[in-house]
Chain A
Amino acid sequence: MGDLSLIIQMFMTGIIMGLIYMLVALGITLIFGVMRIVNIIHAELTMLAAFFMYYMFEVWHIPFIIALILCSAVISLIGIFFQRYLYKPLKYEILNVLIIAAGAGTAVRSASWIIFGPIARNISTVFPGMIRILGTPVSMERVAVALICVALTIALYIFLYKTKTGKSLRAVEQDSEAAAVLGISVDRVYVIVFIVSCSLAAVAGAFTGMLFAVEPEMGNDPFLKCIMILMIGGMGSIPGAILAGLLLGLIDSFTETLFGGEMAFIIGFALLMLILIIRPRGFFGYEA
């Protein structure tokens, strides 16, 4: 593999992985921004979405787009269930929500092992084949998923900044009391933000299951990366999630390819500590 080819390969891997992690991070950061809680179940929702898509698309051969829409609906329902019956009774207090979400996440993961069994699965690719970018072969599905992530981010932006509902979300994010005074139903906004976040989770799950593997533990590794992204980019900030996601993806890709996994791990965390020491709220986080 020639040097230029290697660099292009590392770059593309970095961008693609960064975009995928960013997609998951967006869901979490959205909820944090509006509701000021960390929704740890997001990882399990991604996993459930992947299993759902596996059964819908792979086993029952329902067309991909329809399966995806159904999946978003189902995952949103599950998310809203958690929100209403687990988070709301705790009055969205951040620590308590963290713990109840951790408990629910553990229960869901264990139940998945029991129900789905030990065999890892994979969702057949909807984008087969390889293409060449600047002379370097890349698999079509990776490129397609990356483009979809970009498209979804743009869609999210349009939703938040150009639609009335989106604006009400941002209003609650900035000041929930003032928004309530202005007649915005904060509860309704919470439900909507959960629907949006869960839909993002559903898409992330579907594509992670397609590019990688579907199994009950699949949410763990991406989730860890997302927490790092959120720490670096700033909790609650969407531009932060985008920027930090891409940055982390690229750094991970370059360091791991050039130096091996163990070194990459250390460099990643050293960088994290450095950024947090210099600017603890991350790139665009709130002034606490």
Chain B
Amino acid sequence: MKKVIISLIGVFLAFSVFFGASLVAAKEFVVGSNLVLSGPGADGGIAVQRAVERTTEIMNKEGFTVQGEKYTVNPVYYDSKYVPAESVANLEKMLSGGIKFIYSMGSGATVPLVEKTTVAKVFMMASCSGSDHLTSAKYPYSFRVYPCNEAAFAVYPWLVKTYPQIKNVAHVNPSDEAGFTESETRVKCAKNLGLKNVANEFFKRGATDYYPVATRLVGTKPDLIDFGGTAGRDQGLLAKALRELGYKGLITVHYSNPAVFSQIAGADNAEGVLFPNSVAEPQTPGQQEAHDWYVKKYGPPVPGMFYDNVDPLFMLVEAVKKANSFDPVKVSEVFRNLQWNSIFGPMYMGMESLYGLKSSACRPIPTGVFKNGQLKHLATIPWPSDEAVQKLNAK
């Protein structure tokens, strides 16, 4: 037993020696990046990481000035593995290291953090859904930097206008936080626009075979199947199953990497599928630059989430510069009111009617359609007005 005690003491001492170091060096703006870098969802996480990489590269060429001193950006990456406990541990490590600005993604990994970041007055911006569990008046320092289920408020009115033949809508989502939020919003939008919701299916993310879910969906005879929060290879496999089962109607796919989608579904099955919030051919100079950078460094195809996460870190630095301070409370206020010219067009924090304060990104939604083996740009959907959002969000 004594030997045990000695070994335990040794372990304890070793532990206390190694963890004291602070992570924030002078003249560096440290942004803790809590991303999903392994396990399911890692495709999104790695795309975000690369976007952050690019922003850092560009910003650090010149650096930026706050209160007369020059700073560079230093993103420190943590892998949350999409496991809540790991994400919490990452947060603790970041807070212990003095980090005050966090960039997170994956709603399952981010939502458990927001209580603590609010109490600790730490700025957190996230690329994930989570609706009012993530952004609300209760969490004034938490922001959503890329329209998730909120995009439905822009997309549905456009769908109804462009495809008046749609009467019945079927929804399919993964059975987790993101999926439930998406489903709720989309079902509401469809209903408030006079469409009939004929199905609302959920499946386990990462499943192998999609025939059962597809069979259920096709059986309800929809005109449009909305993939909602479905992401990654699940989308391609589901679309493949739907087409093989004879479904000929419309499909909308969000959070997508169209090249991957078509590879997995098969080019024939991808034909005619709509991709809201996806960049087909770069439409603006900003998109072109981002596209070229990625292709040069990692080769095509460029993942959708890369484009979506190009702007947030730039916006954050801009807010810090404008606030001329590294105080998360001050920066949050500036960030909330920032008007930014993103690669998609004008971008700003909004959705006050939904969440009680401006905290979720609003910007134009580029939409593509898959034709002849390639994604072609179809339209850029403008962001709806606040009144329109309120009408669509009615119970």
Direct contact of A and B (CB under 8 A): yes
Residues of chain A at the chain B interface (Cβ within 8 Å): 1, 6, 9-10, 13, 17, 109-110, 113, 117-122, 125, 130, 137-139, 208, 212-213, 215-218, 220-222, 225, 252-253, 256-257, 260-262, 264-265
- In the complex, whether B380 has a CB less than 8 A from a CB of chain A is no
Tell me which residues across on chain A come within 8 A of B298, comparing CB atoms: 117
Contact B263 A122 (CB under 8 A): yes
Give bound CA distance, A252 to B213, whole Å: 11
- In the complex, whether B47 has a CB less than 8 A from a CB of chain A is yes
- In the complex, whether B245 has a CB less than 8 A from a CB of chain A is yes
Contact of A1 with B219 at beta-carbon distance under 8 Å, contacts A117-B46, A253-B211, A261-B175 already known? yes
Contact of B37 among A113, A130, A225 (CB under 8 A): A113
Tell me which residues across on chain B come within 8 A of A225, comparing CB atoms: 208
Contact B208 A137 (CB under 8 A): no
Give bound CA distance, A188 to B303, whole Å: 48
Taking the closest CB of chain A, its distance from the CB of B291, in whole angstroms, is 15
Give bound CA distance, A138 to B203, whole Å: 22
Contacts A10-B212, A13-B209, A113-B38 known; 6 new A-B pairs at CB < 8 A: A17-B209, A113-B46, A119-B301, A121-B260, A121-B263, A137-B245
**Complex interface residues of chain B between 204 and 230 (CB less than 8 A to chain A):** 204, 206-209, 211-213, 215-216, 218-219
Contact B43 A120 (CB under 8 A): yes
Contact B260 A119 (CB under 8 A): yes
Taking the closest CB of chain B, its distance from the CB of A106, in whole angstroms, is 9
Contact B260 A256 (CB under 8 A): no
Contact of A222 with B208 at beta-carbon distance under 8 Å, contacts A1-B219, A110-B38, A260-B216 already known? yes
Binds A, one of B140-148, B157-165, B231-239, B337-345: B231-239
Give bound CA distance, A109 to B211, whole Å: 27
Tell me which residues across on chain A come within 8 A of B175, comparing CB atoms: 261-262
Give bound CA distance, A138 to B216, whole Å: 16
Taking the closest CB of chain B, its distance from the CB of A238, in whole angstroms, is 23
Contact of A261 among B43, B203, B219 (CB under 8 A): B203
Tell me which residues across on chain A come within 8 A of B364, comparing CB atoms: none
Taking the closest CB of chain A, its distance from the CB of B244, in whole angstroms, is 5
Give bound CA distance, A260 to B175, whole Å: 11
Contact B209 A9 (CB under 8 A): no
Contact A118 B47 (CB under 8 A): yes
Give bound CA distance, A51 to B224, whole Å: 34
Taking the closest CB of chain B, its distance from the CB of A247, in whole angstroms, is 16
Contact A119 B264 (CB under 8 A): no
- In the complex, whether B356 has a CB less than 8 A from a CB of chain A is no
Give bound CA distance, A225 to B204, whole Å: 14
Give bound CA distance, A101 to B245, whole Å: 39
Tell me which residues across on chain A come within 8 A of B245, comparing CB atoms: 1, 9, 137
- In the complex, whether B202 has a CB less than 8 A from a CB of chain A is yes
**Complex interface residues of chain B between 255 and 312 (CB less than 8 A to chain A):** 257, 260, 263-264, 266, 298, 301, 303
Give bound CA distance, A113 to B42, whole Å: 8
Measured as residues with beta carbon below 8 angstroms from the partner, the interface class of chain B is 35 or more
Contact B207 A261 (CB under 8 A): yes
Taking the closest CB of chain A, its distance from the CB of B36, in whole angstroms, is 10
Taking the closest CB of chain A, its distance from the CB of B133, in whole angstroms, is 21
Residues of chain B at the chain A interface (Cβ within 8 Å): 37-40, 42-47, 175, 201-204, 206-209, 211-213, 215-216, 218-219, 232-233, 236-237, 244-246, 257, 260, 263-264, 266, 298, 301, 303
Q: Could you give 12 example pairs across A and B, Cβ below 8 Å? A: A6-B219, A10-B212, A13-B212, A17-B208, A119-B257, A121-B264, A213-B264, A217-B206, A256-B212, A257-B211, A260-B201, A261-B201
Contact B264 A137 (CB under 8 A): no
Contact B303 A119 (CB under 8 A): yes
Tell me which residues across on chain B come within 8 A of A257, comparing CB atoms: 211-212, 215-216
Contact B212 A252 (CB under 8 A): yes
Contact of A120 among B47, B216, B260 (CB under 8 A): B260
Taking the closest CB of chain A, its distance from the CB of B284, in whole angstroms, is 24
Tell me which residues across on chain B come within 8 A of A264, comparing CB atoms: 212
Give bound CA distance, A117 to B201, whole Å: 30
Give bound CA distance, A10 to B218, whole Å: 13
Tell me which residues across on chain A come within 8 A of B45, comparing CB atoms: 118
Contact B236 A253 (CB under 8 A): no
Give bound CA distance, A119 to B306, whole Å: 12
Contact A261 B46 (CB under 8 A): no
Tell me which residues across on chain B come within 8 A of A122, comparing CB atoms: 236, 263-264, 266
Taking the closest CB of chain A, its distance from the CB of B172, in whole angstroms, is 10
Tell me which residues across on chain A come within 8 A of B233, comparing CB atoms: 120, 212-213, 215
Taking the closest CB of chain B, its distance from the CB of A177, in whole angstroms, is 39
Contact B211 A220 (CB under 8 A): no
Central interface residue in B207, B208, B237, by most chain A CB within 10 Å: B208
Contact A137 B244 (CB under 8 A): yes
Give bound CA distance, A38 to B260, whole Å: 34
Contact of A9 with B236 at beta-carbon distance under 8 Å, contacts A120-B264, A261-B175 already known? no
Give bound CA distance, A220 to B209, whole Å: 13
Contact A220 B213 (CB under 8 A): no
Give bound CA distance, A6 to B220, whole Å: 13
Give bound CA distance, A13 to B39, whole Å: 28
Give bound CA distance, A253 to B47, whole Å: 34
